[in-house]
Structure 1
Amino acid sequence: MSLRHISLSDGERLAVWESGPEDAPACLFLHGFPENHRAWRHQIAHLESAYRCIAPDLRGYGASSKPADVAAYATPRLAGDVLELANALGLERFTLLGHDWGGLLAWEVATAAPDRLEALVVANAPHPALFQHVLNTDPAQLAASAYIDLLRDPAIDPVLAEHGLGPVLQRAFGDGALRAMEREELGALLKQWRDPAAALAMVNWYRASGITLPDAAAPAAPPPAPQPIATPTLVLWGEADTALLPANLDGLAQWVPHHTITRLPDIGHFSPWQAPEAVNQAISAFMGKNRLS
């Protein structure tokens, strides 16, 4: 199905992919870095006969607007985009599914507007407050997150302008899991990454975020008081993820009392397309258990 554009209150526009019956329960899918609306394609194909499936290119990605100002990518504004999109599409309540940065936005929406959510599904995306605590206390996660400093470094901007995001990704992650993606899908992403405006927009998500990488020698800051999320939540975790370690699941019950964790051994960061059958099965079981079908 082709994309259509939805205008936001600040004048920016999101490109949106929709499928499934318009009168069915709604599922809103949020992709992560450095992908686009097709990141959840296998799950949409699995669910679209019974659910209204909606997948945007998030701000800065794909066919959506790419403002140049770093402040345009502050996490609260990005989470606001999700709620504005839901309002524009007439979604009073919906199931929210997010991977990577899309998962972080899903956590933010669940905290800010829990009354809008039927359920929450998060894949390889730690709860933001818990992630910061793990960064503060776990040397392995701090080392695994060193790429954040690279993406925030203005020294990469000339490379982004001349060559796009590809060389920076290779420097940060090596050839990475994306090389295992279907050729057509990867080809479309490579084309998008060559756009200098898109390349800068994608790294601006990191530059505008409140994530801090502490000095490894500094005393660890105490964890914040939990603000529990009451929404029924499924957490999917590829345990071979080298950027976000399974330690991010420790203590999750304090933040999300009603959660289910599905661990995916030998699966990396991009679990929705690296293990589509296992992910689809877990989502179907979770949605059935929570009477969402």
Structure 2
Amino acid sequence: MSAFKLNRIALSTGVELDVATAGDPAAPAIVLLHGFPESHRTWRHQIPELAKTHFVIAPDQRGFARSSKPEGVENYTPDKPVADLLALASHFGKERFVLVGHDWGGAIAWMAALQHPDRIEKLIIVNAPHPFVFQKSLFDDMEQRAASQYIRAFRNPALDAQIAAMGVDRFFDTTFAKHTDPELVAPERAAYIDEWSQPGAMTAMLNWYRASAITVPAMDETPERPAFLDAPFPPLQMPVLVIWGMRDTALLPVQLDGLDALIPDLSIVRIDAGHFVPWEKPAPVTEAMRSWLAA
């Protein structure tokens, strides 16, 4: 159901990913990482435009759509998709590349940029919180803590059976669809349900939350504060563009606070949109990317 031709690529990390590509393979590479609960289709509006200047690589990450879904939460710790990313770029002979990430794809992009700055030429983040800022906000900002309680629900293993009992159609209509623009998401309903209905897909997607080391305290809880929040955090070395849909109800604008202290070469573009800004407001997102890359 993709508008793009998908290539099945076996990686050295032991998984096979469906990957959309576009543009001249000899051009500079740009890798687009989607988040929950999506696929490469997150970037359906940006891929054709970015392909005018770059070789675009947009995978369905492990656990999503028809890509491999290894069993076990341990196979979804962030280091695993980071390794997938680097192996995928190497598969195409791209040792350095521009990296773009939204939601969970952004979390992987932040980690890859922090741990492998030699591979990431430039970084574009779309509504995905910096790990330091996010963890700090979950302790110090009660509005963000309240907005993130869904993560605790997603980590509950009983949720898988509940979704199976109601069916992915009803799960789409009663949960996901209510947090997006109905007019924009309705035409995509069949594509989402097709991807979510793949064997093991819902559990695999939720395992990304279960494998994360981020602490999400309950509203009435005061757990021990992670030590790294009160220690210096390494700054990013490459230029970074952050694009933020300011009406995101899950990741609040507080996620932009303090970024300038962590990113010496930072640009921020604020857009009047919700969390799924790449397809809610595709034109300003694409323009922000292309202008920044050209500059």
Cα contact 1:21–1:51 (8 A) shared by 2: yes
Deviations along 1:227-271, one digit per CA (max 9) or x if unpaired, are: 100110000000000000000110011221111000112x00011
Q: In structure 1, how many angstroms separate the alpha carbons of the residues matched to 2:13 and 2:241?
A: 32
From 60, 64, 84, the equivalent of 1:61 is 64
Cα contact 2:31–2:58 (8 A) shared by 1: yes
Percent of counterpart pairs with the same letter? 44
Q: Does 1:275 pair with 2:278?
A: no
Cα contact 1:28–1:55 (8 A) shared by 2: yes
Cα contact 2:13–2:83 (8 A) shared by 1: no
Match of 1:130 in 2: 133
Give secondary structure in 1 for the equivalent of 2:200: helix
Shift, 1:62, TM fit: 1.2
Match of 2:256 in 1: 249
Shift, 1:173, TM fit: 5.4
Cα contact 1:27–1:94 (8 A) shared by 2: yes
Deviations along 1:37-82, one digit per CA (max 9) or x if unpaired, are: 1111111111212211110000001121011211100011111111
Cα contact 2:9–2:19 (8 A) shared by 1: yes
Shift, 1:183, TM fit: 4.3
Match of 2:9 in 1: 6
Match of 1:22 in 2: 25
Moved more, 93-102 or 181-190: 181-190
Cα contact 1:235–1:261 (8 A) shared by 2: yes
Match of 1:94 in 2: 97
Shift, 1:7, TM fit: 1.3
From 61, 78, 83, the equivalent of 2:81 is 78
Match of 2:234 in 1: 227
Give secondary structure in 1 for the equivalent of 2:192: helix
Deviations along 1:133-155, one digit per CA (max 9) or x if unpaired, are: 11110000000001101111112
Match of 1:261 in 2: 268
Query: In structure 2, do the counterparts of structure 1 residues 25 and 177 end up closer, same or farther at CA, with 3 Å as the change threshold?
Result: same
Query: In structure 2, do the counterparts of structure 1 residues 161 and 35 end up closer, same or farther at CA, with 3 Å as the change threshold?
Result: same
- 1:43-62 counterparts in 2 under 5 A? 43-62=46-65
Tell me the number of residue pairs that the alignment of Structure 1 and Structure 2 aligns. 288
Query: In structure 2, do the counterparts of structure 1 residues 66 and 227 end up closer, same or farther at CA, with 3 Å as the change threshold?
Result: same
Cα contact 1:6–1:14 (8 A) shared by 2: yes
Q: Does 1:218 pair with 2:225?
A: no
Shift, 1:161, TM fit: 3.6
Cα contact 1:163–1:194 (8 A) shared by 2: no
- 1:201-216 counterparts in 2 under 5 A? 201-216=204-219
Q: In structure 1, how many angstroms separate the alpha carbons of the residues matched to 2:39 and 2:265?
A: 29
Query: In structure 2, do the counterparts of structure 1 residues 166 and 137 end up closer, same or farther at CA, with 3 Å as the change threshold?
Result: farther
5+ residue gaps, structure 2, are: none
Shift, 1:178, TM fit: 5.9
Q: In structure 2, how many angstroms separate the alpha carbons of the residues matched to 1:253 and 1:277?
A: 26
Cα contact 2:63–2:201 (8 A) shared by 1: yes
Q: Does 1:240 pair with 2:247?
A: yes
Give secondary structure in 2 for the equivalent of 1:50: coil
Give secondary structure in 2 for the equivalent of 1:175: helix
Give secondary structure in 2 for the equivalent of 1:104: helix
Shift, 1:169, TM fit: 5.8
Deviations along 1:187-213, one digit per CA (max 9) or x if unpaired, are: 111122233500110000000011111
Shift, 1:218, TM fit: 1.8
Cα contact 1:166–1:190 (8 A) shared by 2: yes
Q: Normalised by the size of structure 2, how large is the TM-score?
A: 0.92
Query: In structure 2, do the counterparts of structure 1 residues 215 and 185 end up closer, same or farther at CA, with 3 Å as the change threshold?
Result: closer
